[in-house]
Structure 1
Amino acid sequence: MLAPMKGFEGLNRLDVRRVLLLGLALMPIGIIAMVQTYRVIEDSDARLEAALLGETLAAATGERQIILRSRGAAQTIARIIPTYGDDETACSAILSRYASSIDKLNFAGHISESGIVRCGTDEIGTDVTGTATYQQYKATRLPFVGSSSGNRSVGVISVVEPVVTDDAADGYIVLAFPHSALSVNSEAKDKGPRPLDTITFNENGDVLTSHLGVESAVDRIPANRALSALSVTGASTFEDLDNTGVERVYTVAPLLPGAIYALSIWPAEAARAGGLTSMSAVLFPFLMWLISLAVAYFAVHRL
């Protein structure tokens, strides 16, 4: 007969066999603990994502309110302007009156279909056919919020609303703000987490505002995802490198679905909820199983 292999002689002992059987008996409990740990981690991640999205919306509340008020004003003016017909003086007067009631507005005008400032707070008669705002209007003929330099040296945010006269396109109303007009105070009133920066952008991926400055915003946006692509994903959270190579966590939330979005930028550790990782789901139950085997082994030896 073949002699038993010496390497396995130790497994033939009664105490070892009892411990191994106990280990098999405890294995289903370990699997259940593993599944429960996974669920805890998933719940923690979901709560963390919801918290970050909530902070993103809170950080951009000021910008959202200003843009909403501006769009409402542009819509009202677009309905009123056709009633003035060819009276450019009256048209300019009504635009000036609206402009004086809107804080930090630096231009309000009616741009004709041919791209001439028909009436407004200033620059009447100026040809704007070469501006990005006019080109986008001609391409879409839809309301939008855009960012460009316009005819000024400083960047402006343009709120555009098409004008319809006798069922025919009659140019558009534009309300222009400097970027600084929407750079509201982002200081937290509570002790909750705050993003490193919050950027607003439109559906085309144009940056509208940034708490740390529009000029440097390109350094902080995701390196591997275009802003225009983020506008079609809805609310989301993801990790990526910024354009300086630093790992960041990003949260995207719609301010005006289909038009304006907020992007908050967080340090990489913001995505880690209490140190829980997927490894925890395996490590903790495995350690419990090993400890149970060790206790059982020493208990058998003492009997």
Structure 2
Amino acid sequence: MITKLKTTSQSLTFRIAILLAITLLPIGLISLIQTHQLLDAADRRAESSLVALTADAAAGEEAYIRTAFGAAQAIAGSIPTYRESGWDCQEPLSNFLRLSNAFSFAGYISAEGVVTCASGGQGMDVSTLKLVGEMRDDPQERVAIVMEAPISMTSVIVVAVPVFVNGIYDGYVGVSLPHRSMFNALQEEDPERPVELLTFNAAGEVLTSDAGWDNVEGFLPAGRDLVDLINQGEQSFIGSNQNGDSRVFAVVPIVDGTVYALGSWGHARRAAIVEGLNVTGSILFPIAMWLASVGVAFFAVQRMVIRPTRNLRARMLYFMRSRKISPPRYESATPLELREMEDTWARLAENVLHDEAELHNMIHEKTVLLREVHHRVKNNLQLIASILNMKMRKTKSTEVRKALSNVQLRVMNIARVHQKLYETSTEERVRADELLKTIVSQTIGSFEQDVEGVSVEQSYDPIVVYPDQAVPLTLATSELVTNAMKYVGRPEGQGPWLVVKLEKIDDSNGCITISNSTGEIVSPDAGLATTNLGHQLINAFVMQMNGKIEENKSDDEFSVTIRFPIAEFDDADPITNWDA
């Protein structure tokens, strides 16, 4: 897998795709940044708009509550008078309610929770109301909701103003407002993004809600208490309500420290930023444009560069395997430069075929000529051998005949070498093992009439050499085999034997070893006088090969080893120096 990924990463297709992606990435990032800035600006506009909308919507609520506070404070100022008159206040308070037509109750509740002076229900004990205990524990102006008022028997909003006598809390004046929505209608502002409005007091209790009391808790900000929102003045923020909807919230004080209005509006990022463009589209659009740009650029490169390049490669492979030039298949999208490249390659392939044909012709002519040379040399040497044979038949001297026989043998050995080169040579390369096997067999065969019972063992490793090495190697081996057959001996209790072994030591060196048994000489020619010519010839042949010769003699064996270098065929000089 890793190798496949590494290979893929090195392809032109992969690198162009990565390059195009990196090149176009800044454009996509700029688009995303601009979109994000647009969304932030839309959020700020939505927040500012919602603060103003909430303030406008709560204007009526504010007026009612402030009026109730004014009425409660006026009544609180009259409490000493009512106290002196024996709490004769039901009629004036009832008249007050009829004139205002906005309140359902007005009265004074003592610190013990008894309705001391009121528009109705005077003398009633309301000490169980939560508001009574809160005013007694912390007497201050406050607004509270009573879901089931003991006098009006309905839900009301109570505005309470404390009354003090000689600095000691004595009770509070309460003015009740019927619990109904008093917000201005805002649904016409944006039907797609409805505004939800509610009021709450300093204790975090919801007083009114324009959406009613059903699931009113679900429309409050999730994870934030209403009490935490009352100490920062007018504010707006983005969050989710407890139903999980993303909303823009705004908090506007109606009566500082007492009553607040909370408005929420559908989040700008969930709604339309501009007409016809929603936020999802605005974010996905630059990403889609980036992907589309990369895709179009990659498709164009694929059609105009990658595919024509692969077609050209396929034509090259076809030419390499079949030595045939396939016609080009241009597409309409193939650029002119690539067409010219294919035409140039076609002309180059034609030139290569033409040059190869000429080269093959030259090699063929050279091979024919070389074989003809070897053939003529072989014929001439055979002619010389025939002349020597004629001389041998006419002479009566045994020594002269034997000398001429030795010369004839050497001439025939050289002739056999050229015959083998004529038969086996290919482009100046000779299989030394095949050549030596033939020459050695022929040399041993020429002694079979005079020397009988010799056991011959031959072993040849495959070695390829130049003709410049093959000729002296073969002639030296022939001389050594001739000498071995001439002086082969019969060890005590054994038969005579001869071993010829060609070994490849390594890629650069080889050796040939000729060993024969010693003892009673079996050849009748061994006793004749020698001129030491064979030894001189062997040393000369070894020098031509840049080789080394070693002789080893024991009681029953005599061996000669020639170590020689194997020339590399790409070397300028086919014969390299060899260190023993």
Q: Which structure 2 residues correspond to residues 95-244 of structure 1 after superposition, within 5 A? A: 95-148=93-146, 149-152=148-151, 153-180=153-180, 183-184=181-182, 186-188=184-186, 190-193=188-191, 195=194, 197-214=196-213, 216-218=214-216, 220-222=218-220, 224-225=222-223, 226-231=225-230, 234-242=235-243
Taking structure 2 as the reference length, what is the TM-score of the superposition? Answer: 0.43
Distance 2:37 2:264 in 1: 27
1:35 aligns with 2:33: yes
User: Which entry has the higher C-alpha Rg, 1 or 2?
Assistant: 2
| Partner SS state of residue 173, structure 2 | strand
Letter in 2 for 1:175: V
Query: Taking structure 1 as reference, are residues 170 and 271 closer, same or farther at Cα in structure 2, changes over 3 Å only?
Result: farther
Q: 3-state DSSP class of the match of 2:79?
A: helix
- 1:30, 1:189 → 2: CA distance? 38
Give the aligned partner of residue 260 of structure 1.
259
Contact persistence 1:240–1:250 (CA under 8 A): no
Deviation at 1:236, TM superposition (A): 3.5
Distance 1:265 1:29, change over 3 A: closer
**Which deviates the most, 45-54 or 152-161?**
45-54
Distance between the aligned counterparts of 1:248 and 1:33, measured in 2? 24
AA aligned to 2:111 is E
- Find the counterpart in structure 2 of residue 50 from structure 1: 48
Aligned residue type for 1:276: V
Following the alignment from structure 1 to structure 2, what is the Cα–Cα distance between the partners of residues 27 and 206? Answer: 52
Paired residue secondary structure (2:203): coil
Q: With structure 1 as the length reference, what TM-score do the two structures score?
A: 0.76
Deviation at 1:55, TM superposition (A): 3.3
Q: Distance in 2 between matches of 1:195 and 1:12?
A: 52
Quote the Cα distance in structure 1 between the aligned partners of 2:32 and 2:187.
40
Query: Which residue does 1:10 correspond to in 2?
Result: 11
Secondary structure of the residue that 2:124 maps to in structure 1? coil
> Are residues 250 and 29 of structure 1, via their aligned partners in 2, closer, same or farther at CA, if it must alter by over 3 Å?
closer
Q: Which residue of 279, 297, 307 corresponds with 1:276?
A: 279
| Change over 3 Å in CA distance of 1:57–1:196 after alignment to 2 | same
Deviation at 1:287, TM superposition (A): 3.9
Structure 1: distance between partners of 2:256 and 2:227: 13
Evaluate the alpha carbon distance shift between residue 48 and residue 295 of structure 1 in structure 2; reply closer, same or farther with a 3 A threshold.
same
Contact 1:132 1:150 in 2 (8 A): no
Counterpart contact for 2:187–2:194, Cα < 8 Å: no
2: distance between equivalents of 1:260 and 1:79?
Answer: 23
Give the length in aligned residue pairs: 290
Determine if contact 1:82/1:165 at 8 Å carries over to the other structure: no
Q: Does 1:70 align with 2:68?
A: yes
The verdict on how the C-alpha distance between 1:276 and 1:212 changes in structure 2, with shifts beyond 3 A counting, is closer
Distance verdict in 2 for CA 1:170–1:51, change over 3 Å: same
| Alignment CA distance shift 1:262-1:12 (3 Å) | closer
Larger deviation, residues 195-204 vs 103-112: 195-204
Q: Measure the CA separation in 2 of the matches of 1:292 and 1:106.
A: 70
Work out whether residues 88 and 119 of structure 1, in 8 Å CA contact, stay in contact via their aligned partners in 2.
no
Q: Which residue of 2 aligns with 1:251?
A: 249
Is the CA contact (8 Å cut-off) linking 2:221 and 2:239 kept in structure 1?
no
Structure 2 gap segments, 5+ residues each: 1-5, 306-334, 338-580
CA contact (8 A) 2:162 2:173 kept: yes
Q: How far does the alpha carbon of each residue in 1:51-83 deviate from its partner, in whole angstroms, 9 at most, with x for none?
A: 344333333332222112111222232234335
**In the alignment, what sits opposite 1:86?**
84
SS of 1:241's equivalent in the other structure is coil
CA distance, structure 2, for counterparts of residue 23 and residue 45 of structure 1: 32
Matched-pair contact (CA < 8 Å) for 1:88–1:118: no
Aligned-partner residue type, residue 63 of structure 2: Q
Confirm or deny: 8 A CA contact 1:186 1:211 kept in the other structure. no
User: For 1:141, what is the secondary structure of its paired residue?
Assistant: coil
Residues 164 and 100 (structure 1), Cα distance of their counterparts in 2 relative to 1, 3 Å cut: farther
Q: For residues 210-250 of structure 1, what are the alpha-carbon distances to aligned partners after superposition, in whole Å with 9 as ceiling and x for unaligned? A: 33434x354644495554455456544421333xxx74636
SS at match of 1:32: helix
* Structure 1 CA distance for aligned equivalents of residues 43 and 236 of structure 2: 15
Report the alpha carbon displacement of residue 38 of structure 1 after superposing the two structures with TM.
1.5
Query: What is the distance in 1 between the residues matched to 2:139 and 2:194?
Result: 36
1:166, distance to aligned residue in structure 2 (A): 3.7
Which range is displaced more, 22-31 or 95-104? 22-31
Mapped partners of 2:262, 2:62: distance in 1: 13
